[in-house]
Amino acid sequence: MQEFADRRQRIMETMRAAGGGVAIVCTGAEVIRNRDSEYPYRSDSYFRYLSPFPEPQAAIVLVADSDRGESILFCRPKNEERETWDGFRYGPPAAAERFGFDRGAPIESLDEEMAKLLANRAALWCAIGTSETLDASARRWLAAVRAQARAGVTAPTRIADLNHVLDEMRLVKDAHEIRAMRRAAQISSAAHLRAMRTARPGRREYEIEAELLYEFRRNGADAPAYGSIVAAGRNACVLHYRANDAVMNDGELLLIDAGCEFDAYASDITRTFPIGGRFSAAQRTLYDIVLDAQRAAIETIRPGARFIDAHDAAVRVLVQGMIDCGLVEGPLDAALESGSYRRFYMHRTGHWLGLDVHDCGSYREPSAADADASAASRILRPGMVTTVEPGIYVRAADDVPSAFHDIGIRIEDDALVTDDGCEILTIDTPRRAEDIEAAMNG
Ligand code: GLY
Ligand code: MN
Ligand code: MN
């Protein structure tokens, strides 16, 4: 639990250095799915970064001045009747004690307390402009402080973007976060291996989705970190395929993009393998291009390199491969320049990964004034985690060699930047074509 107190302390230090004030981070709201049922509840990721307190209707407030620092957890009071229906609630005093806050307070008192805490403070730190509810609350709190002007109270003159501070912190993972991400990656790797061993012609995509979920949950993962994509044959060319209900046929590939969330941290893996257990020659040709592209991308990942380097390296290999097999016209530099390859590779090669699957954090150096996006690309540092996910997607069309029609391939792994390179957190999932075939065939 100390790591959360340390993170809150770091925020208070940043606030102090910028003149102090009061910061607030609210957790997520419960969302109705239909009538009386709600979507499974998950804390807001910024809140979760500062405390694992699991209940909805809660807020963390940090007061940071030169002479004062206080952390307060606002949450629901105990309620015997509601606890009988919905389960245990800590209540403010027990929650503050258990989760290491200076004090707890009932969430109903938030407006009243904020009006008091903000009196004579320099700034309100919050995620202003991200939610109408929060914006309206901020207006109410500030109005309540300003209403005390004739009593000699001054209101904050600044609203500071707290998420900018948190984004920078969350971008570089600490040891506790890395431990959770390793475990998430291991469980997801086991799930992909299970999928390879259970997929066969005649089964439906959702049966394999169920195998993934089984492996996630039996290992203690919270949930899938995002909607699992289980896409057979041409469905793999739909980047965010959701239906997962088609029959899987012999001769087709199965693309699975799925990862669990463990202790609130995401993993994100894609594997593509032959439903019948053996790649065809055309499938293998494209598969090896994507694998080579991924290797080239991973080679670039080390401290001091730019985030964009992995994408640039992957694209060069992908496009040369597309030229070699007649999908795209050469030479390489002309194809890169014209962007003709984008018909078959239309997404980026990676994104930050952490509490969110598409995690927060700027992809540009914060200090970069340069308007050229690639020149300003983020410089990698130890503790950053990015996915590496090149692919090739070939929809059937008259001007495309028919052997490649309806083949969609993506290979995605999660890379932690280390002191001298990177560690592939998802290394346990077979990746080379021959290793996949061996895993599938016993
Ligand atoms: N699964 C989402 C992504 O790969 O970005
Ligand atoms: Mn991804
Ligand atoms: Mn993915």
Residue ranges making up the domain that contains 292: 172-441
224-238 mean pLDDT: 98
With the most atoms of ligand 1 within 8 angstroms of its CB, the residue from 188, 387, 411 to mutate is 387
Residue 66's pLDDT is: 77
Q: State mean pLDDT over 76-94.
A: 97
R_g (Cα) of the chain, nearest Å: 25
- 273's enclosing H/E stretch is strand 269-274
Q: If you take atom 5 of ligand 1, which residue's CA is the nearest one?
A: 358
Q: Examine the domain organization and report whether 252 and 355 are in the same domain.
A: yes
The answer, yes or no, to whether residue 139 has pLDDT greater than 60, is: yes
pLDDT score at 372: 60
- My answer on whether 162 and 176 are in the same domain is no
Q: What CATH number corresponds to the domain at position 207?
A: 3.90.230.10
**309 neighbors 302 (Cβ within 8 angstroms):** no
* Mean pLDDT of all residues in 176-192: 98
- Domain tally, the chain: 2
Three-state DSSP at 392 gives: strand
Last residue of a domain, one of 144, 170, 196: 170
pLDDT tens-digit profile of 389-431? 999 999 999 999 999 999 999 999 999 999 999 999 999 999 9
User: What pLDDT, in 10s, does the model give residues 151-168?
Assistant: 999 999 999 999 999 999
Phi, then psi, of 148 in degrees rounded to 5? -95, 10
Query: Across residues 8-15, what is the average pLDDT?
Result: 96
Q: Using an 8 Å Cβ cutoff, are 128 and 155 in contact?
A: no
Q: How confident is the model at residue 67 (pLDDT cuts 50, 70, 90)?
A: confident
- Report pLDDT for 366: 86
Report percent pLDDT > 90 for the chain: 96
Domain boundary, last residue among 114, 142, 170: 170
Tens-digit pLDDT profile for residues 265-297: 999 999 999 999 999 999 999 999 999 999 999
Residue numbers annotated as active site: 36, 240, 257, 268, 347, 351, 358, 389, 393, 410, 412
Do 361 and 383 fall within a single domain? yes
| Residue 142 shares a structural domain with residue 210 | no
- The pLDDT value given to residue 369: 57
Are the CB atoms for 208 and 254 separated by under 8 Å?
A: yes
Element (H, E) at 266: strand 265-266
What is the number of the ligand 1 atom nearest to the C-alpha of 412? 4
148 residue type, one letter: Q
CA distance 117 to 22: 7
